[in-house]
Amino acid sequence: MKLKKVKALNRDLSSVIEEMVVQDGAPLWVELIPQGEDVIGRDGRAWTNSNPQGILDAFEENSAELPIDIEHATELKAPNGDPAPAVGWIKGLELREEGAVWALVEWTQHGLWLVRDKEYKYLSPVFTYDSKTGSITQLFSAGLTNQPNLKLTALNRREENHGDDMSLPLALTTALNISSAATDEQALAAINSLKSDKEKALNSAETPSVEKFVPRADHDVAINRATEAEAKLKGFEEKAINQSIDTAVGDAAKAGKISPASVEFHKACCQQEGGLERFEKFIETAPEIAPDTNLGDENLDVGGTLSAEETAMCAMLGTDHKDFKQAKSEETV
């Protein structure tokens, strides 16, 4: 393929060239993209230079000179706010044999010194490329380096991560849970997905589903109502129990199975857990007792036999007759 030599920026560069020729010791033209359609780096990465004229067209459309820095400071340091001074400026581009792209350079005094004294011997271009086809589309800058990646005329750094040509950092791909070989577009899609999920979560927190969440005010009202209902129910249950105890003890007294003097005692016993059931079971088999049990007689022989009522009390309480007599004797003393 025979290519016509074209200078970018679409203007006469003869006067610029004349001024730059005096830059003794530093090249006026430098190679940025090597000849041939296949561009293969020393590190194994590969691109295609299928449209070299498109690279010149993009430069002309940008209408701005491109910087030459040291070790890609423009791409690596400048984004962090660190100094990234230029040591030269790319004034124009030119196509040469087999699609090679060369640049016309104006060096700064510092750049002249670095090149002339061979502090740096090679250039490394920074370019964008089509992630699907690998075709190089536009140049952005170049950096002086001593570790070239592309095989260019002396004066591309073998760098895994620089410019738009860099692969994504491993820490970033790991955090985004995407492949280490993911493209910028895939990383951007993952970030946008995270942002969308965050917005959905915030919206859900502000306006939660009424099917799953209850407003705090409604929750408090429901709790208060439940507490009040529980208190009322407990009151009803206690009232019903007391009525049942009064009825059972009263009926037993009327039937002569307990003495009137022991009514309150039996009511107190019935208040204990299971007390009413035990009392009712006792009354079923308890004999009728005499109205006068002589319980108030001080001369009562506490060591003798128990009265019918005392016997009934022992049966209801599950107390041994001997223990009852002993307790009764101690109270008398």
Q: Give the tens place of pLDDT for each residue, 80-131.
A: 889 889 999 999 999 998 899 999 999 999 998 898 888 998 999 999 999 8
Whether 87 contacts 107, CB under 8 Å: yes
Q: List the beta bridge partners of residue 135.
A: 48
Residue 261 lies in a domain: yes
At which of 124, 152, 176 does a domain end?
176
Question: Are 295 and 168 members of one domain?
Answer: no
Question: Are 109 and 229 members of one domain?
Answer: no
Residue 25 lies in a domain: yes
Whether 178 contacts 194, CB under 8 Å: no
Domain, as residue range, for 240? 216-332
Question: Are 80 and 129 members of one domain?
Answer: yes
At which of 124, 146, 176 does a domain end?
176
Model confidence pTM above 0.85: no
Question: Are 58 and 148 members of one domain?
Answer: yes
Question: Are 42 and 169 members of one domain?
Answer: yes
Which of 97-101, 188-192, 300-304 has the lowest average pLDDT? 300-304
pLDDT score at 57: 94
The pLDDT mean for the chain works out to: 77
Residue 187 lies in a domain: no
Question: Are 12 and 155 members of one domain?
Answer: yes
Residue 34 lies in a domain: yes
Residue 210 pLDDT level (bands cut at 50, 70, 90): low
Residue 21 pLDDT level (bands cut at 50, 70, 90): low
Residue 242 pLDDT level (bands cut at 50, 70, 90): confident
pLDDT, tens only, 151-178: 887 763 333 343 444 556 665 667 777 7
As a whole-number percent, the residues of the chain with pLDDT over 70 amount to: 75
Question: Are 171 and 220 members of one domain?
Answer: no
Residue 129 lies in a domain: yes
pLDDT, tens only, 212-237: 666 777 777 778 887 877 777 777 78
C-alpha 138/C-alpha 128 separation (Å) is 5
Residue 206 lies in a domain: no
Residue 285 pLDDT level (bands cut at 50, 70, 90): confident
pLDDT score at 7: 47
Taking the CA atoms of residue 256, residue 258, residue 262 and residue 267 in that order, the dihedral angle to the nearest 10 degrees is -110
Question: Are 168 and 260 members of one domain?
Answer: no
Residue 211 lies in a domain: no
Residue 103 lies in a domain: yes
Question: Are 124 and 38 members of one domain?
Answer: yes
Higher model confidence: residue 197 or residue 50?
50
Higher model confidence: residue 165 or residue 33?
33
C-alpha 333/C-alpha 326 separation (Å) is 11
Question: Are 236 and 288 members of one domain?
Answer: yes
Question: Are 152 and 258 members of one domain?
Answer: no
- DSSP-assigned letter for residue 7: B
Domain count, the chain: 2
pLDDT score at 258: 85
